[in-house]
Structure 1
């Protein structure tokens, strides 16, 4: 198993759902490729919308809105190396692909066609951090792991539409006023709050946070401050928190149990 899976304490097989902002799609394909490199059968998919995968991201793309058709095709394609990618339909006007209802992913998981399913289960309009609306995130009930990601480099930037997806929700959850600098404490709050990034995490799933875009020692230090606040808050929702980066290549600087 590779560095990401090891750091996230992921093993055995199952559904991994990715929520939050600041690198979900990149994490999905990085993690899927890593799992596939170990010899496992891997499906990457989404319950929201996602960009069209590149040639290095997936060996095959299946697009079908018919559940039985999807099950038949993924069961036939699950054998062999590499990552398979499946979605319900193409949105050509946006250059994106639209995913499945969570129940479809639950059915694919129950079929046993894949050892791993990695699902992007949230949207954030390319912002580094978000707070979910009432209908978000869209997490399959079969998820064994839920990874909440955010861009830790947002610390110090103002709370507004440019930096936060649904900033009014972020303000409500964290108590931070609009246009005030985003702090480590506010990021800890949006991770720990039941209406925050990990909202709707299934009770049996392991919740992990990934503080992404830690490109400098200063940003890594800010990540440690988030960890310290979560421990002060005695956060029971999270099992582990990672500090690292995904680009140009995945690198986990450190991880902490909460």
Structure 2
């Protein structure tokens, strides 16, 4: 089963990706898969992302004035749009109004809607995440390899907010309970989410981390009603994905 099938992707879907531990990789992996359908795909951000390497896209426009001149093109492929590049070498993303302006020109829109400063976990301040109002699916990314990690400023983006959400303290080790709180808390992973809520537990790269992900799901998440609409466990790196049936446990293992 492909990633797009796990997500149950539909034409004209607008997907916002939040969390930490592989958002950009997920966005471009999904874009590459959709591209095989001869589709026109927008990849962008409402925050900031590093400029992707050339093999990840077909067309790139990083000048506010050039973006809208390119929209009438009927060429299929992956488009990267941004306002400009800042001094960090990051793309400054599109505003709500700009996203509204390009809405009708693409078969799919993939939006990185959160920032984690390349950390494995994060907390959220009052302005985050920045989710486009027309989003049809929100994918919340969770790094299962963060289990056992020491809670501190060096490993967690917005460390103080994370501790409030998870009722944790500096120096503790990340547990399944901490990750559950991060998922279910109103100010946590699915804060401001729109449309279908999809939990993607990433970096289940080996049997140990797959078992930890399943333990989190079976002992914690499935027992809590109305947290998410769909759960995927997998490894973006290895292109392996597992669909989880919320009432039955594992549905499909690849």
- TM alignment of 1:24-63, pairs within 5 A: 24-63=23-62
1:58-97 mapped onto 2 (5 Å cutoff): 58-66=57-65, 70-73=67-70, 75-77=71-73, 79-91=74-86, 93-97=87-91
Normalised by the length of structure 2, the TM-score is 0.91
Residue 138 (structure 2) pairs with residue 146 (structure 1): yes
SS at match of 2:136: strand
1:19 aligns with 2:32: no
Deviates most, 12-21 or 135-144: 12-21
How far does residue 171 in structure 1 lie from its aligned partner after superposition? 1.4
C-alpha deviation, 1:116, in angstroms = 0.2
CA distance in 1, matches of 2:213, 2:96: 31
1:128-167 Cα shifts (integer Å, max 9, x gaps): 1112111000000010011011211000111112221112
Q: How does 1:83-232 map to 2 (within 5 A)?
A: 83-91=78-86, 93-109=87-103, 112-202=104-194, 205-228=195-218, 229-232=220-223
CA contact (8 A) 2:222 2:246 kept: no
Per-residue deviation at 1:96? 1.4
Which of 235, 243, 248 matches 1:245?
235
TM-superposed deviation, 1:13 = 2.1
TM-score (norm 1): 0.90
Shift of 1:257: 3.0
Q: How far apart, in 1, do the equivalents of 2:76 and 2:125 lie?
A: 37
Q: Secondary structure at the match of 2:80?
A: strand
**Is residue 210–residue 242 contact of structure 1 (8 Å, CA) maintained in 2?**
yes
Listed one character per residue, the Cα deviations across residues 33-58 of structure 1 (whole Å, up to 9, x for unaligned) are 11111122101001111111211111
For structure 1, the residue ranges without an aligned partner over 5 or more in a row are: none
Structure 2 unaligned spans of 5+: 248-254
Deviations 1:211-235 (A, max 9, x none): 111111111111112212112222x
In the aligned structure 1, how far is the partner of 2:216 from the partner of 2:230? 12
Quote the residue 2:224 is aligned against: 233
Paired with 2:169 and 2:245, the residues of 1 have a C-alpha distance of 29
CA distance in 2, matches of 1:201, 1:164: 21
Supply the RMSD in Å over aligned alpha carbons. 1.6
